[in-house]
Structure 1
């Protein structure tokens, strides 16, 4: 019960932090572009990317998205994430993507978010937050929640 409450509270804080730090109302008004290859779940599921190893699929579909490591403020470990920022100086929104409970941050079904962020020049951060559900530190653990908050801080501190 406490973990559920903590997770919901943290999610609210993260969402509020994203809105405060990367308020789209403050950014230049640009139309949002759709990525036609990924307008439905089935299009991605049936695409050639689904048959590729995860890292190769990400590299092919979203070559500008970088693999990074973020030092955990909770335990000092390096936590993997995917990140994109074009470096343009205009203010832009942040897309914080959390993977599903059954997979890690490299899952194929997150690729459209990275492609979309690049197409629309948004900042994109996709932390692993300790991996999939079979890791006791994953999910709604204090470490995983801190990893999400650390990823948000990382994205906010980038110069672009």
Structure 2
């Protein structure tokens, strides 16, 4: 009850403000974030990396009581650590420790975009929190949307033994496929991918695209409670087709639970759920966006909701709060019907 009440005012991944007010400029947002950030030296190249960090007094080493959960928030594709400060208020309400690392900032250079440097930055931030605070080792959670969803899947595959649960929203799973999709949509993401991977997809860059694409590595994450979410209109009103989430789920799912290629193609083209899958839905009291299709297999679940490039971080955090490292994924529904948090469009 307390957790649900606290989450009603959740701040989403990179939310557009609900009130009519002058939005701060990117420079103003970054300047404000710099005042809150700490520097953590990279254990890989020694450079200082910005991290938004907060811990409650209850997590101090001289405090009594149980150890505290840690939530790791990963910024969107074109963002950086400056997206982390809104999560401080959320962490305070939850009583959890927060880290929101920069992990080399926007995905427009080789050092970013799921590089080994970027993934180590996330691990370094977690290690810092574990040194500074009493972290419950079975309650280290990871959440992100869009580019943060992409990196959440990457980290689930690269360090599966660390996470109690991973909540990925509208993620990119195959960078080469997304390059082609982005070129067709004439947006800037194809150029950013080329800047990150050394050029367009081809023989010279194939290894880079595959290394940075979670689709080819998620088999290592089958032991991690993993919740993947996508909006049926994404790829039309947004930048990431639903196929990325569904194909990622298929890597984790048993053969008889995988979503058929013909059904994935239908959803991408028609922005609808095929009639053959229409009964695989669920009323989820923790969601504002209607669940159109939901399937689970082992520790993985995929949800296609009525929406586009959106996230519901309150639902993500509520789901994470029920997960424990070393235990099977808990896909039970929340106990209090009607307590859905706000859905917001994820920054690209």
Q: TM-score normalised by the shorter chain: which range applies?
A: 0.5 to 0.7
Aligned residues: 123
Specify whether residues 66 and 87 from structure 1 end up closer, same or farther in structure 2 by C-alpha distance, changes over 3 A only: farther
**Richer in helix (by share):** 1
CA distance in 1, matches of 2:129, 2:78: 25
Q: Deviations over 1:78-136 (max 9, x none)?
A: 100000002323411111001011111103xx444221101121100000000101122
- Aligned ranges 1:47-126 → 2 under 5 Å: 47=19, 48=21, 50-52=23-25, 53-55=28-30, 66-88=36-58, 89=63, 90=65, 91-107=67-83, 110-126=84-100
Give the superposed CA RMSD: 2.9
* 1:157 equivalent in alignment to 2:131: yes
Distance 1:36 1:103 in 2: 23
1:31 paired to 2:6: no
Higher strand share: 2
The structure 2 residue matched to 1:131, chosen from 98, 105, 108, is 105
> What's the TM-score, normalizing by structure 1?
0.64
User: Whose RCO is larger (CA < 8 A, sep 6+)?
Assistant: 1
TM-score w.r.t. the length of structure 2 is: 0.32
> Where does structure 2 lack aligned partners over 5 or more consecutive residues?
135-348
Structure 1 alignment gaps of length 5 or more: 1-29, 60-64
Q: What is aligned with 1:148? A: 122
CA contact (8 A) 1:35 1:115 kept: no
